[in-house]
């Protein structure tokens, strides 16, 4: 079994940073649930775990398993309380089918910057059967440890594609492009399709001008009651969950 060196600890810890993930073509998942959910779906480079964890989870046994002390795991971890297991995977190379929005719903994220929001959005997409998300290049990295933790394993089932968002939406030529705005049509009474693209905007600035130019249907989630004073907007992940649920309830 491989011996854990200082270089290995530094390498795994470096995957906290986007530039190192891209350079190495790798990302990490931490914690029992996260590792067991992702292990069947990604190409494993190494699995670092305590001896007790390896004994308790024989189903995760692999020639790439490495026995680690808790001190080693603490040095590798991005968590305040390090887990008993860390898996390092290859970042998958996923290809977007340009015609996918003609037969299914696709989510588009315009500069979602909070990793927790992105992870929750991926989890929501998975729950509602959306398998492709297209993101502006300014959107948070879906392979950051915080995002991976927040997806609760959904990163295994949802493909996230980074691109120039306005041109990609135009190239996909979807039958509908829906955008969430503060001044759109009431989503409760709007006509919604089971295919096309749903755009969710940045946490503070909403959908950018260039991306908004691709929208064919502007939607608003109404507050209740309508005349009651409210906050400026909904959290991006909450808005995503409400929006997709409206589409699925009208399927």
- Residues 62-90 have a mean pLDDT of 95
Q: Residue by residue, what is the 3-state secondary structure of the chain? A: CCCCCHHHHHHHHHCCCHHHHHHHCEEEEECHHHHHHHCCCCCEEEEEECHHHHHHCHHHCCCCEEECCHHHHHHHCCCCCCCCEEEEEECCCCCCCCCHHHCCEEEEECCCCCHHHHHHHHHHHHHCCCCEEEEECCCCCCCCHHHHHHHCCHHHCCEEEEECHHHHHHHHCCCCEEEEEEEEEECCCCCCCCCEEEEECECCCECCHHHHCCCCEEEECCCCCCCCCCCCCCCHHHHHHHHHHHHHHCC
pLDDT above 80 for 250: no
pTM of the model: 0.93
CB atoms within 10 A of CB 35: 25
Residue 105 in contact with residue 196, Cβ under 8 Å?
yes
- Residues 173-180 have a mean pLDDT of 97
**Model pLDDT, residue 233:** 75
Dist CA 79 CA 144 (whole Å): 12
CB under 8 Å, gap of 24 or more: what pairs does 15-24 form?
Answer: 15/88, 15/145, 16/78, 16/144, 16/145, 18/141, 18/144, 21/91, 21/141, 21/143, 21/144, 22/91
What is the length of the chain? 251
- Residues 74-82 have a mean pLDDT of 92
Using 50, 70 and 90 to split pLDDT, how confident is the model at 2?
Answer: low
pLDDT above 90 for 35: yes
pLDDT above 80 for 1: no
CA–chain centroid gap for 141, Å, is 8
Q: Compute the mean pLDDT over every residue in the chain, rounded to the nearest whole number.
A: 94
Residues 90-140 have pLDDT tens digits of: 999 999 999 999 999 999 999 999 999 999 999 999 999 999 999 999 999
Q: Over pLDDT 70: what percentage of the chain?
A: 96
Tokens for 137, please give them.
């290049």
Write the CA distances from 165 to 14, 17, 199, 214, 231, integer angstroms.
29, 24, 10, 10, 28
Q: Over pLDDT 90: what percentage of the chain?
A: 90
pLDDT above 70 for 251: no
Residues 200-222 have pLDDT tens digits of: 999 999 999 999 999 999 999 99
**Model pLDDT, residue 224:** 83
**Model pLDDT, residue 198:** 98
């Amino acid at each position: 079994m491989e011996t854990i060196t200082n270089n290995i600890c530094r390498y795994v810890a470096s995957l906290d940073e986007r530039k190192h993930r891209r350079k190495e073509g790798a990302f990490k998942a931490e914690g029992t649930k996260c590792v067991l959910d992702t292990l069947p779906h990604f190409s494993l480079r190494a699995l670092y775990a305590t001896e007790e964890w390896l004994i308790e989870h024989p189903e995760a046994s692999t020639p790439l398993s490495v026995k680690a002390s808790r001190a080693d795991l603490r040095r590798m971890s991005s968590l305040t309380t390090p887990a008993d297991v860390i898996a390092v995977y290859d970042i998958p190379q996923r290809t977007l089918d340009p015609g996918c929005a003609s037969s299914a719903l696709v989510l588009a994220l315009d500069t979602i910057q909070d990793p927790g929001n992105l992870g929750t959005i991926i989890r929501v997409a998975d729950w509602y059967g959306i398998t492709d998300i297209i993101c502006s290049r300014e959107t948070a990295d879906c392979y950051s440890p915080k995002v991976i933790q927040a997806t609760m394993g959904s990163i295994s089932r949802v493909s996230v594609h980074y691109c120039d968002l306005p041109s990609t939406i135009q190239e996909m030529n979807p039958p509908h492009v829906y955008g969430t705005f503060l001044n759109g049509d009431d989503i409760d009474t709007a006509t919604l399709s089971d295919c096309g693209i749903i755009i969710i905007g940045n946490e503070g600035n909403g959908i950018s001008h260039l991306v908004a130019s691709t929208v064919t249907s502007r939607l608003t989630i109404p507050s209740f009651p309508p005349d009651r004073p409210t906050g400026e907007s909904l959290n991006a992940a909450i808005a995503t969950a409400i929006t997709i649920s409206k589409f699925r309830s009208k399927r």
